[in-house]
Structure 1
Amino acid sequence: MKIKEISVLLGIIGIVLMMILPIPSWLLDILLVINISLAMMILLVAMNTKEALQFSIFPAMLLITTLFRLALNVSTTKLILGEASAGNVVATFGSWVSQGQPVVGFIVFLILVVVQFIVITKGSERVAEVGARFTLDAMPGKQMSIDADLNAGLINEQQARERRRKIEREADFYGAMDGASKFVKGDAIASIIILVINLVGGFIIGISMKGMSFMDAVSTYSLLTIGDGLVSQIPALLISTSAGLIVTRASSEGNLADDITSQLFIYPKLIYIVSGTILLLGIFTPIHFLTTFPLAAALGYAAYKMQKNMDRKQVAQEQQEEEQQIEEVRSPESVINLLQVDPIEFEFGYGLIPLADTQQGGDLLDRIIMIRRQCALEMGLVVPVIRIRDNIQLRPNEYVIKIKGNTVGGGELLLNHYLAMSPGYDDDSVTGIETQEPAFGLPALWIDEATKERAELAGYTVVDPPSVVATHLTEMIKKHAHELLGRQETKTLVDNLKESYPILVDELIPSVLSVGDVQKVLAKLLREKISIRDMVTIFETMADYGSYTKDPDVLTEYVRQALSRQITQQYTNQGETMKVITVGPMLEKKIAESVQQSDQGSYVALDPVSTQTVYQKLTEQINRLIQSGQQPIVLTSPTIRMYLRQVMERTMQDIPVLSYSELEPNVEIQSVGVVNL
């Protein structure tokens, strides 16, 4: 064990032995001085800590100092009752405070006990109790906030782990302070009891055993008892004050002195008012003018100097900011920074500022966090940070969504209205401003608060403007997810998978496929709205077939077949029949014969007449299904699926194209239309 560890252990043992073994008066004087010094040191440390966890040992120190103080009380009591003397420190405190009048000293002692017991100790105990309760109640919210920051990419895993540990330590600290403050309260009660014992016991022993007269006994034991109480209560008062400072101190960048000077004297104009009030008290009240004028003049002068200093600092800060702006413009990096393109941007006119302003009740930031969580769960994609900004060039109620600097969607909102979408039939009693739902292009109405309930009863789907924005933003992210997944983002997903499946990743990358090859396969899956959350299955499949082919289209087909259960559940509900549009044998044969090979892979080259015929017949079948309220799905053979997808991609990108190999054997399929040449 280290020397400091042995010293602490011996010190604790020594405190216990003090209650049993006799201590000479000269050693007791030293220990009493140490007690006062220790209390002052704890108070100064408590004043200079920036947050409570910087003095996390305080609850234990509170118990140790309380035990030390009680041991000193026992030792002084033994000397007072046994020898009618307790050393120079006790005698000095008793005579110095009482000034030859034991009643005065006794009253001073009672005042200190009342201040400590009723004001400081009781207040600290209550604050510690409330602090512990609120800290425990706030833990779930703080944990959710950390998870939100982690999912938003604002912090990494290590920072999140440190924040969680800090929250746990705060809860442990305030819980310990809640319990330790009870010991301080008990110490104050014990001091009163010890005072009574010393007085009554001293009178009895002095008169009956030491032969003192009544007045001598009163004078001697009153002096010693008061000195003992004061030399004990002053350190107790300092430590109780330290406990109050610790539990009432909020986290800040400076210590107590910095906070007082920077926050209490931050408004010089208010100090002028205080100075004038003090001056008026001396003029219009019996308080003498000479008593109030010096203080009023000092406050006024201090306010004047502080105002000058604040003006000077503000001017210096403005000059520094101007110099920084000029320097940034001159620096070569200023042009380079302009080349940075945000992956996702959400811009809105000034009329929609309340959406993002939390002070006005806006919850757009919270909704965006939930959107990123939803995309991670549904698509397996970590959506980049979404940049939110107002744009005065837009109309007041207009917003636009940009992907890599290019506008991909937009719309207009009426903040004091609701968007009502028809259930398929119109109700004449529901009136409003005709518009179009921005995410899916459905006809809708902007209705006011008074019409909302009527529209809901009529079967309309009614949503508020923030929900409209959140839905539109989610759909745009899903639609352009393949553009958001670059090589850097793929490398992040690979590193995350490698933590749990290192052998799988090492086998595939880079010996079989590069990060770029993996990114192309994942992007093709996202382009057709296939979730990549099951990275293990995707990597297993690419590792199996990557040694045979590097063509990302072919690898994607193999991966889709491995994800057959996921794809089946994505497009069918449990027990329902999948209604599909099938591709006829003539069209399949025509597509297979039109496949061409190139250095970049294979592609389909249909003649214009066949292409136009395919588009026309597909459009007829798809529109018929949409009008009947069903989701159109095109089903074909595995050999031509990716080529048919190439044909449909330009004009029918949102129509899923599946192959028989991508569906589970137990799913029931019903053909509701055939496309053929």
Structure 2
Amino acid sequence: MNNFIALFKLNGSQHARFLAGPVLILMVLSMMVLPLPPVILDLLFTFNISMAIMVLLVAMFTKKPLDFAAFPAVLLFTTLLRLALNVASTRVVLLNGHQGPDAAGQVIEAFGHFLIGGNFAVGIIVFIILVIINFMVITKGAGRIAEVGARFTLDAMPGKQMAIDADLNAGLIGEEDARSRRAEVAQEAEFYGSMDGASKFVRGDAVAGLLIMVINIVGGLIVGVAQHGLSFGEAGEVYTILAIGDGLVAQIPALVISTAAGVVVSRVATDEDIGQQMIGQLLNNPTVMFITAGILGAMGLIPNMPHFAFLLLSAVLAGSGWLLYKRQQKTKEAEAPDPQVQQAAAEAAAAEASWDDVALVDPLGLEVGYRLISLVDHSQGGELLHRIRSLRKKYAQDVGFLPPVVHIRDNLELKPNEYRILLSGVEVGRGVAMTDQWMAIDPGEVAMKLEGTPTTDPAFGLPAVWIDVAMREQAQIAGYTVVDASTVIATHLNHLMHRHGSQLLGRQEVQQLLDHIGRDAPKLVEDLVPKTISLTLLQKILRGLLEEEVPIRDARTIVESIAENAPRLAAANTAGTGPDPSELLQQIRIALGRAITQQWFPSGDEVRVIGLDPKLERVLTQAVTSSGALEPGLADTLLQEAQRTVQQQEANGDPAVLVVSPVLRSALSRFLRHHFPHMGVLSNFEIPEERILRVTAVIGGGNA
């Protein structure tokens, strides 16, 4: 029974929300068609005023425009509501206006007498001023901001989509986060476009209010004189005050909602609402308050000036500035180091050395300058720690093992905006990041040059520029890929982790990988280590795969290939030292051939590769099998020809992949990888049979 009641309440709440729109439409239509008594008009006018106040407060407390995404629809419905009220009130004013100023309800009477003192001339002037403020200032400005915002948002959409794709490919965000970000970008463009159109309703409402007031006055004069026998002066005074009261009742809520529209489209999206932004940025500097207080005090001392007002406000600002100054001083004192802590640190430094002072080298480390500490501090809103966690998770999913934890520390020997990435205590990468700026990376097809500090993308070496936050959307429109400082560091770290993945795989990681496989397939690994091969040999094999950026996530295939080929290769080794690691690695690569080929050629059945000239292949085979090394002259020829074919292959839009015989694959891969990091060397046995092999460039030709 309780569950039924709860379900009934839930369904009732959902139905109430579902019926809100149709009920409002019915209210608008009924007000335009049916005559309403003055009491109902008072309630509806009061509801209109309360709705306007609610809309303004919601706009003030939103932290970004999309938090009030329903605002364009709210703007439309409130405008229709005001126009319907104007129609209903006009009907009552013209029908019952001869009976007195309260004929159209107490709300209109209050606005006609209390606010303007019953003076219709003053009322007309006040009404016209309100219309001008609403029409010429607030609504026009908000409409212009919405129009420009919609234009820039639409122009910036491709750049924002590229930034989302870059974060997704770098492993900084997941698929769900990328999908939600893309939806947010689309919603932002739709919001500003809707606001651009909805602002026209408000401007039209202001014009309609002015025309309705004129029509009410003229119509009231005609009805009062011709139908009810009033004198021209009596009819003018009664109907003019009623028309002005009616106009003010509608225009004041319209002015409030127009202000809300301006607040929504003109605010900058931060983690604070508009009130917190204004107070935090206007009243955050005691020096400004002291100077303002001094100027007001000096103006208050001028003869014939209102001394009380100027001197009172000067004293208030000076007192507020002093309180703010004292608060900031207390904050600085609280953040200062404790003398007891410093004394304890000094005593620890004077103590004798022990084994506790011996620090082990971290497998993977990140050191930052003092200005980059905010990026790794949660209390200061730093996102780099979260990005690195997401990066490690993405790396584990793509490569096949969990990399070591990234140990982050500050280093005062670095420049303030500098960072460096360490692998086993040795620096493998260094870069610069500006916390208050964004990096605009030139992908090669930008439409304009940007003003800023020229630099180079530390991960991929592309030309880039550090720009101010205000130029972010302009850079995206121009075709740049714009990322913040945290993304720059995380992308650089991700690139180096993939490049040095073999050095990140230690024995502990190999054992954890075996334990992970054993939970799902215990029979597969129970006889592998140490019966078939040793843990050291397994680590060497996996590192050999990672050196050529071959993922090891298909661990089942790797283990099965080892179990199948290791005994045979060990028996064939006359030295009795177990299977040859290079031959075993070659057999594993053949087993992973479909995945390796897919990595280089993700789509299509045709594999467009680089081949070796037969004469050069015979010479290389003889050199590798006899001495295991290449002569200097042969090596230079091979490098020149490889550079030519790589450029030719990339110009055709094909990956630089060389296919050779199994005998040459390992030696050529080691030799060419140092000179062409993005070049792959595959054995012809690694290409699946269902793929069509087509040689589009040849190394050697007549030059060998």
Q: CA deviation at 1:343?
A: 3.5
Q: Please say if residues 524 and 560 of structure 2, whose CA atoms lie closer than 8 Å, have aligned partners that are also in contact.
A: no
In structure 2, what is the Cα distance between the partners aligned to 1:487 and 1:16?
77
Q: How does 1:284-363 map to 2 (within 5 A)?
A: 284=302, 286-318=304-336, 341=362, 343=364
Aligned to 1:28: 41
Q: Where does structure 2 lack aligned partners over 5 or more consecutive residues?
A: 1-13, 98-102, 349-355, 376-383, 432-491, 529-534, 568-583, 644-656
CA–CA separation in structure 2 for the residues paired with 1:381 and 1:158:
21
Q: Which residue is 1:604 aligned to?
A: none
1:221 Cα deviation from its structure 2 partner = 0.4
Q: Is the 8 A contact 2:52 2:253 kept in 1?
A: yes
Residue 634 of structure 1 and its aligned partner are, at CA, apart by 13
Alignment CA distance shift 1:382-1:200 (3 Å): farther
- Is 1:83 the counterpart of 2:96? The answer is yes
CA distance in structure 1 between the aligned counterparts of 2:72 and 2:366, rounded to whole angstroms? 50
Instruction: Check if 1:250 corresponds to 2:268.
Output: yes
> 1:310 deviation in Å?
1.8
Query: Does the alignment pair 1:580 with 2:617?
Result: yes
- Residue from 104, 111, 115 that aligns with 1:93: 111
**CA offset at residue 285 of structure 1?**
5.3
Deviation track 1:348-378 (CA, whole Å, cap 9, x = no partner) reads 9x9xx9xx9xxxxxxxx9xxx9xx9xxx9xx
Q: Is the 8 A contact 2:499 2:549 kept in 1?
A: no
- CA deviations 1:131-158 (Å, max 9, x no partner) are 2222222223333333333344433333
Match of 1:624 among 618, 634, 651: 634
- Whole-angstrom distance in 1 between the partners of 2:252 and 2:364: 64
1:54 CA drift (Å): 2.0
2:544 to 524, 545, 568: 524
Pairing partner for 2:564 from 539, 548, 565: 548
Q: Does 1:168 align with 2:186?
A: yes
Is it true that 1:483 corresponds to 2:503 in the alignment? yes
Q: Say if 1:138 and 1:21 are closer, same or farther in 2 by CA, change over 3 A.
A: same
Q: How much has 1:255 moved relative to structure 2?
A: 2.7
Q: Conserved in 2, the CA contact under 8 Å of 1:23 and 1:75?
A: yes
Pick from 67, 73, 98: which aligns with 1:54? 67
Amino acid at match of 2:564: Y
Aligned-residue offset at 1:246: 1.1
Partner of 1:601: none
1:24-423 superposed matches below 5 A: 24-84=37-97, 85-284=103-302, 286-318=304-336, 341=362, 343=364, 402-407=422-427
**d(CA) in 2 for partners of 1:201 and 1:148?**
65
Give aligned-pair identity as a percent: 37
The match for 1:558 among 572, 590, 599 is: 590
Q: Rg bigger for which structure?
A: 1
Distance 1:587 1:513 in 2: 35
CA, structure 1 residues 489+278, in 2 after alignment: closer, same or farther (shift >3 Å)? farther
Distance 1:142 1:572, change over 3 A: closer
Greater CA drift, 36-45 or 104-113: 36-45
Structure 2 CA distance, aligned partners of 1:21 and 1:58? 29
Q: Any idea what the Cα deviations from partners look like across 1:57-115, whole Å, max 9, x if unmatched?
A: 21111111111111100000001111113111111211123323210111111111111
Distance 1:291 1:530 in 2: 75
Distance 1:666 1:280, change over 3 A: closer
| Contact 1:125–1:182 (CA under 8 A) maintained in structure 2 | yes
The 3-state SS of whatever aligns with 2:616 is strand
Counterpart Cα distance in 2 of 1:116 and 1:634: 70
Deviation at 1:579, TM superposition (A): 2.2
Output one character per residue of 1:507-552: Cα deviation in whole Å (capped at 9) or x when no partner: 996775799999876542343x36559x8xx789759856734675
Note if contact 1:581-1:635 (Cα within 8 Å) is conserved in structure 2: no
Residues 151 and 314 of structure 1: CA distance in aligned 2, closer, same or farther (over 3 Å): farther
Contact 1:581–1:671 under 8 Å retained in 2: no
Matches within 5 A, 1:632-671: 661=685
Cα deviation digits, residues 223-250 of structure 1 (max 9, x gap): 1001001111111111111111111122
Separation in 2 of the partners of 1:325 and 1:61? 63
Tell me the alpha carbon deviations over residues 42-69 of structure 1, each in whole angstroms, 9 at most, x when there is no partner: 1122112222222222111111111111
Does the CA-based 8 Å contact 1:59-1:180 persist in structure 2? yes
User: Could you list the per-position Cα deviations for residues 546-592 of structure 1 after superposition, in whole angstroms to 9, with x for gaps in the alignment?
Assistant: 6734675364252376668999999963796672355789996xxxx
Preserved CA contact (<8 Å) 1:512 1:546: no
Do the aligned partners of 2:518 and 2:525 also contact (CA within 8 Å) in 1? no
In the alignment, is the contact (CA less than 8 A) between 1:580 and 1:671 conserved in 2?
Answer: no
- In 2, Cα distance between the equivalents of 1:337 and 1:120? 68
Q: In 2, Cα distance between the equivalents of 1:114 and 1:90? A: 21
- Partners of 2:598 and 2:289 in 1: how far apart? 74
- Counterpart of 1:592 in structure 2 is none
Distance in 2 of aligned mates of 1:74 and 1:473:
66
Indicate the residue corresponding to 2:575 in structure 1. none
Contact 1:102 1:219 in 2 (8 A): yes
- Secondary structure (helix, strand or coil) at the match of 1:573 reads strand
Of 247-256 and 154-163, the range deviating more from structure 2:
154-163
After superposition, give the CA deviation of every residue in 1:402-436 in whole Å (9 maximum; x if it has no partner).
4332356999xxxxxxxxxxxxxxxxxxxxxxxxx
SS state of the match for residue 114, structure 2?
A: helix
CA apart distance, 1:198:
0.1
Could you tell me how far apart the structure 1 residues matched to 2:68 and 2:672 are?
65
Structure 1's unaligned 5+ residue stretches are 357-364, 412-471, 495-504, 589-612
Shift of 1:630: 4.4
Taking a change above 3 Å as real, the CA distance of residues 127 and 393 of structure 1, as seen in their structure-2 partners, is closer
Number of positions where the alignment pairs a residue of Structure 1 with one of Structure 2:
545
Scaled by the length of structure 2, the TM-score of the pair is 0.63
How far does residue 381 in structure 1 lie from its aligned partner after superposition? 9.6
1:19 aligns with 2:32: yes
Q: Is the 8 A contact 1:636 1:659 kept in 2?
A: yes
Distance apart, 1:18 and its partner CA? 0.8
Taking structure 1 as reference, are residues 177 and 578 closer, same or farther at Cα in structure 2, changes over 3 Å only?
farther
Alignment check: 8 A CA contact 2:123 2:244 kept: yes
Match status 1:2 vs 2:2:
no
Deviation at 1:259, TM superposition (A): 2.2
Residues 347 and 10 of structure 1: CA distance in aligned 2, closer, same or farther (over 3 Å):
closer
